[in-house]
Amino acid sequence: MSDITVVGSGASAVHFALSVLEKGYAVTMLDVGYPPEEAVNPRDTLNGLKENLVDPVDYFLGKKFESLILPDAGKEYYGFPPSKNYVFRAPGLLRERSEGFAPLFSFARGGLAEAWTGGAYAYNDAELADFPFGYDDLEPFYSRVAGRIGMLGARDDLERFHPWHANLQPPLEFDEHSALLYAAYERKRERLQKKHSCFMGRSRLAVLSRDMDGRQACDYSGRCLWGCPSDSLYVPSLTLKACLGFPRFTYIPGMLVSHFTYGADDRVATVTAWDLEKGRPQDFPVKKLVLAAGTLCTARIFLASIQRRTGQSMELSGLMDNRQVLIPFINLKLAGKPFKAETYQYHQLAMGIETDDPRHFVHGQITTLKTGLLHPIIESVPLDLKTSLFLSRNLHAALGVANINFHDDRRPGNRVAIAGAPDPLRAELRIRYAPPPGEKKRLQGLISRVKAILLQLGAAVPPGMLHVRPMGASVHYAGTIPMNRGKKSLTATANCRSHDFDNLYFVDGTCFPFLPAKNLTFTLMANAARVAEREF
Amino acid sequence: MESLFVTGGSGFVGRCLLAALDPGRFRHVHWLSRNPAQRMPAPAGTQPVAGDLNDPESYRSLLNSNVTVVHLAAATGRAGPAQQRTANVDGTRVLLGECSRAEVRRFLHVSSIAAKFPEKKHYPYGRAKEEGEALVRAAGLPYAILRPTIIAGPGSPVMAGLQRLAALPLMPVFGGGKTRIQPIHVDDLVQVMLAVLAEDRFQGETLDIGGPQAVSIEDFLLRMRRLSGSERRRVVRLPLRPLIPLLAAGEKVLGQRLPLSASQLYTFRHDGVADANPLTDKLAGGFRTIDEMIAESLSLTVESGGDPRLERECRVFGRYLLGREMNPYVQAKYAEGHAALAWDRGPGFFDPLLVAIAARHPLTVKPCDAYARFFRPQGLLRKKLVLLLAVLELTPPYYRSIDAAGPGSLPGLFVAVAWKGFTMVLALVPAVIVLLPLQVLSRITRGRRAPESENV
Ligand SMILES: Cc1cc2nc3c(=O)[nH]c(=O)nc-3n(C[C@H](O)[C@H](O)[C@H](O)COP(=O)(O)OP(=O)(O)OC[C@H]3O[C@@H](n4cnc5c(N)ncnc54)[C@H](O)[C@@H]3O)c2cc1C
Ligand code: SF4
């Protein structure tokens, strides 16, 4: 029996595991762990793939054309490519029902962040106010994780929101459009800051601008969305690979954990997983159990375990996610100009809008559209397709999207429960979410402000193309069993140990008591490393 | 027990070799790849090594007198001359230096038939391969050099290129088309390599490795066309002699941005056929024929749906969107999209009627498309047009015209958009007059029809 059993191999799990392995513990990791497919033609650029693949449409749209975005698909501007299908593949056994929430799950080796866009921002003291620790406690772990994953950033105006930490490489070269926007910001800095409380700077990204640990610096191949072939863009499976180098690490994929069992002493005794290959359950005795299956899957395992033992249907409240609004824009200076496909594909610029309460800062990431597929944009323009195609061709270099993120807090009505069959595998996960009162008004105010800011930067927002993404779409889930200074059921200690079970830990978003606007994964990883250091 | 060290292990040939090896026969099988190993799951019994030929530190420790080296790593195709040299000449030199120092047991060098082309002035790949061979011969190691011809098989870049040529409505043939090629399937090449290892043929031979048949390149392309179901035999002949230096000069200025490179045209210039040798004579009975190679390559693409109605639609819609003919690949993908997505006809008779009217002529698509944008935005016609657009933005050569910007200046763009907007309104007016009543009628009558599920 290992010292520690971890469930999941996502961003949270692997950084926890690597940290305890480095301390000499023996670790077993149970995971569903669907693996990725081999990267095709790793040396080709994006257009190189179109030229050289025998069947490029199959690669980009999928055998079942699943990545084609049809006019009835809502207003998403990109779909997940077939090469990322494994990230969202789910075992057929699981069921869920949601109200007001569109959840995404991953059962992949590396979890959801195998498809992430690499935005990695540290929380500051104000944002950590509800956490039982401050930035100084977390900083060493941000720095450690940054050194592991390879991150870049620059000291600029955004430092007022995103604290500076060690191990940041210099940023990538701007693509032409981002450079233009940033130059406009520099010219109008004072006005933007005074009038709109808007600050801009480089995105902090989990991407390499220098070679590191056998991984190559980004060579601007433009393939980010389809999977970086040179591992310049960090994904958790790289850390899993590092874990596999430890002799005391055992990784067992193909295991869908359904529940744990516990005795009268409220200590977890075993964890039960459904062996997906053999089609039967398997028990693993545990000394310490660490759940890192992603906030929603961790909730499912936790609730199913209690329901199985007590027959009681319980629920967890306080589920959080960041509301995201996509605001497409056109930079008129680039209209009719050719675009360069060989550039970094995701956002290179970030924006922060200060509000009265520093916890409620609004976080924006600005992606200038380069190599993404054009058909979703072309079909969304209110013109016939041929005219719209003409327009998009000429505006391709000028297109961009501001992705604006809002904070969330724990509210009792936002719940996760399980119901139905007593068999933990077949029980249905039920999610209910309602936005905070007055959200619409707040969003409208901020959207107008962002439009005005973009105009200052020389970019216009075309009518009818703005998209308020449904809750769940940002995939920043947190808050169901929060860290709590006092001992209270359904909460956890400052080191993420359950107050209900002595040897049970949650190292994913489960324990976050507050969700700032900025992307949480970097903090998930840092917190997981912190728990490993402080508690083990 | 000896060990094996394979360079270029994650490449096209390397992958097949590693998959076919019996790792039990070797103490270790290490394979070098510039791309971190976990990008390609390591075949059982083999170990990836992240590194680069020109960075001997990354593999030095793996070489010793018990190791046979299989040297596959190479920059091919459209890499620029400098890259070709760094990878194919410098890389080979560095590797050989390390191998000599470690006194490796044997060295299997996979070169190319291009090394023996009589003239390679504008063909840096061929030159680099020839130089690489000379380095191997001079290194003083027990060696064998294999010169494969065009290598076919899943993921073959050359076959993909030829297939694209064959799929064009007007098939270009450079030069007289009589130049001969003799493709070999990658699995068969791997069998040859395994035989060299097993028979210990490391006496300094240079062996050409070709498939069982040699044909003219024009014949080959026409066979490809025929097997893909196309009846057309229209060929356009383009002069090869002036084109090669012209392209080479263009590349000096524009780098590798041209759609065609001088190097690629060398396939049309010199016979790429293999001299006979006892080893291939012995194995050739089991080699794949040209038709088998072509059939595999085409089946990896798609088979045309063969539905004349969809083919017509695709052609008409393609001419509407891009003003160009659609090649068989696009037509097949359009049909395949229909099969995969299995759209139903929608409520009532209106959607299929709109598609039928639109598909009559490129001129009728415009009003139907404009109408659909405003009155049937999620209907069948727009789905079909979006499907075609998505296929086109991924398929050469069409994607290049989708990516190309137009007027260049903002005022020019305004004028062009204003004009196009005006023509859209002009098209929309009669469309509304004719189509709106039909759509209303279709709504009224839809309850009387049985639910439709037939694919369209
Ligand atoms: C398109 C996209 C873009 C994103 N961009 C960003 C970004 O730029 N910045 C950012 O901070 N975040 C981003 N995210 C969010 C980020 O991916 C998640 O926050 C992060 O992956 C959460 O990590 P996790 O380890 O907590 O959980 P997950 O990634 O959900 O991992 C869960 C793991 O648990 C395993 N598992 C689950 N249930 C079970 C079970 N029952 N039994 C066994 N194993 C199980 C799974 O196999 C998986 O390995 C993005 C997400 C997506 C989808
Ligand atoms: S991060 Fe993106 S642009 Fe950079 S190398 Fe990877 S895929 Fe290419």
At B223-247, the pLDDT tens digits run 887 777 666 667 788 888 888 888 8
Q: How far is CA B340 from CA A59, B231, B334, in A?
A: 15, 26, 10
Provide the residue type at B97 as one letter: G
Q: B65: burial class by Cβ within 10 Å (0-12, 13-18, 19+)?
A: exposed
Distance A339 CA to ligand 2 centre (A): 17
DSSP state of A467: E
Ligand sitting nearest the alpha carbon of A296:
1
Asked whether the beta carbons of A345 and A372 are under 8 A apart, the reply is yes
d(CA B67, CA B108): 11
Which band of pLDDT confidence, cut at 50, 70 and 90, is reported for residue B452? very low
Which band of pLDDT confidence, cut at 50, 70 and 90, is reported for residue A226? very high
Which among A151, A140, A87 has a CA at the least distance from the CA of A118?
A151
Mean pLDDT calculated for residue range A127-144: 97
Q: What is the pLDDT of residue B230?
A: 65
pLDDT for residue B305 is more than 70: no
Mutation target to probe the B interface, by most B beta carbons within 10 A, among A9, A41, A57, A226 is A57
d(CA B287, CA B186): 10
Mean pLDDT calculated for residue range A394-411: 94
DSSP string covering A423-434, please?
STTTSEEEEE--
Beta strands in B164-312 (DSSP E): 171-174, 180-181, 184-185, 205-209, 215-216, 235-238
pLDDT in tens, B119-162: 888 888 888 999 999 999 999 999 999 999 999 987 677 887 78
The reply to whether residue B424 touches residue A384, judged by beta carbons under 8 angstroms, is yes
- Dihedral over Cα of A159, A165, A166, A167: its sign: negative
Q: Which two tokens stand for residue A338?
A: 């050719």
Q: What are A418's strand-pairing partners?
A: A429
Determine if ligand 1 sits within 6 Å of the CB of residue A474.
Answer: no
Interface membership of B160 toward A (CB under 8 Å): yes
Q: Which residue of chain A comes nearest to B317, CA vs CA?
A: A386
- Dihedral over Cα of A240, A242, A245, A248: its sign: negative
Q: What is the pLDDT of residue B263?
A: 76
Q: What is the pLDDT of residue A199?
A: 98
The reply to whether residue A71 touches residue B301, judged by beta carbons under 8 angstroms, is no
d(CA A300, CA A314): 11
Q: What is the pLDDT of residue A339?
A: 81
pLDDT in tens, A310-362: 988 889 999 999 999 999 999 988 988 888 888 999 999 999 999 999 999 99
The reply to whether residue B155 touches residue A40, judged by beta carbons under 8 angstroms, is yes
Asked whether the beta carbons of B194 and B282 are under 8 A apart, the reply is no
The reply to whether residue B389 touches residue A389, judged by beta carbons under 8 angstroms, is yes
Ligand 1 atom with minimal separation from the A294 CA:
27
Distance A112 CA to ligand 1 centre (A): 3
Q: Which candidate from A55, A238, A378 shows the least CB-CB separation from B389?
A: A378
Q: What is the pLDDT of residue A483?
A: 97
Q: How many CA atoms lie within 13 A of A167 on its CB side?
A: 18
Q: What is the pLDDT of residue B247?
A: 80
Domain map (residue ranges) of chain A: 1-34+89-116+235-320+411-435+475-536, 40-77+170-232+324-405+436-470
Q: Whose CA is nearest to atom 8 of ligand 2?
A: A221
Asked whether the beta carbons of B224 and B294 are under 8 A apart, the reply is yes
Q: Please provide the average confidence, as pLDDT, over all residues in chain B.
A: 84
pLDDT for residue A274 is more than 90: yes
pLDDT for residue B326 is more than 80: yes
pLDDT for residue B79 is more than 70: no
Neighbours of A464 (CB within 10 A): 10
d(CA A411, CA A405): 18
DSSP state of B85: I
Q: What is the pLDDT of residue B139?
A: 93
Query: How many Å separate Cα B187 from the centre of its chain?
Result: 18
ipTM for the complex shown: 0.83
Interface membership of B373 toward A (CB under 8 Å): yes
Q: What is the pLDDT of residue A482?
A: 98
Determine if ligand 2 sits within 6 Å of the CB of residue A504.
Answer: no
Angle B115-B120-B125 from CA coordinates, rounded to 5° = 60
Q: Which candidate from B34, B39, B417 shows the least CB-CB separation from A39?
A: B39
pLDDT in tens, A71-127: 876 656 667 889 999 999 998 888 899 999 999 999 999 999 999 999 999 999 999
Which among A393, A387, A389 has a CA at the least distance from the CA of B407?
A393
d(CA B237, CA B235): 6
Mean pLDDT calculated for residue range A21-30: 98
Q: B227: burial class by Cβ within 10 Å (0-12, 13-18, 19+)?
A: middle
Q: Which two tokens stand for residue A188?
A: 């109008």
pLDDT in tens, B216-229: 988 888 888 777 76
What would you report as the CA-atom Rg of chain A, rounded to the nearest whole angstrom?
23
Ligand 1 atom with minimal separation from the A273 CA:
42
The reply to whether residue A386 touches residue B321, judged by beta carbons under 8 angstroms, is yes
Q: How far is CA A337 from CA A182, A385, B352, in A?
A: 18, 21, 39
The reply to whether residue A383 touches residue B424, judged by beta carbons under 8 angstroms, is yes
Q: What is the pLDDT of residue B265?
A: 81
Q: What is the pLDDT of residue B264?
A: 77
Q: Which candidate from B157, B386, B396 shows the least CB-CB separation from A50?
A: B396
Q: Whose CA is nearest to atom 27 of ligand 1?
A: A294
Distance A230 CA to ligand 2 centre (A): 7
> Between these two residues, B103 and B83, which has the higher pLDDT value?
B103
The reply to whether residue B421 touches residue A56, judged by beta carbons under 8 angstroms, is no
> Between these two residues, B420 and A404, which has the higher pLDDT value?
A404
Asked whether the beta carbons of A327 and A464 are under 8 A apart, the reply is no
pLDDT for residue B48 is more than 90: no
Mean pLDDT calculated for residue range B335-364: 86
> Between these two residues, A274 and B178, which has the higher pLDDT value?
A274
Cis peptide before A140 (omega within 30 of 0): no
Name the residue of A223, A347, A368 whose CB sits within 8 Å of the most ligand 2 atoms, as the mutation to test its pocket: A223
Q: What is the pLDDT of residue A150?
A: 98
Which among B389, B382, B365 has a CA at the least distance from the CA of A73?
B382
Percentage of chain B modeled with pLDDT above 70: 90
DSSP state of B379: S
Percentage of chain A modeled with pLDDT above 70: 99
Which among B261, B260, B290, B286 has a CA at the least distance from the CA of B273?
B290
Mean pLDDT calculated for residue range A202-222: 96
Domain A1-34+89-116+235-320+411-435+475-536 CATH (choose: 3.50.50.60, 3.40.50.2000, 3.20.20.100, 3.20.20.140): 3.50.50.60
- Dihedral over Cα of B422, B426, B432, B435: its sign: negative
Mutation target to probe the A interface, by most A beta carbons within 10 A, among B385, B392, B455 is B385
Which residues are CB-contacts of B321 (< 8 A; sequence separation ≥ 6)? Answer: A385, A386, A389, B385, B388, B389, B392
pLDDT for residue A242 is more than 70: yes
Domains delineated in chain B: 3-299 (3.40.50.720), 308-447 (no CATH)
Q: What is the pLDDT of residue B302?
A: 44
> Between these two residues, B106 and A45, which has the higher pLDDT value?
B106
Ligand 2 atom with minimal separation from the A233 CA:
1
Determine if ligand 2 sits within 6 Å of the CB of residue A233.
Answer: yes
Determine if ligand 1 sits within 6 Å of the CB of residue A519.
Answer: yes
Percentage of chain A modeled with pLDDT above 90: 80
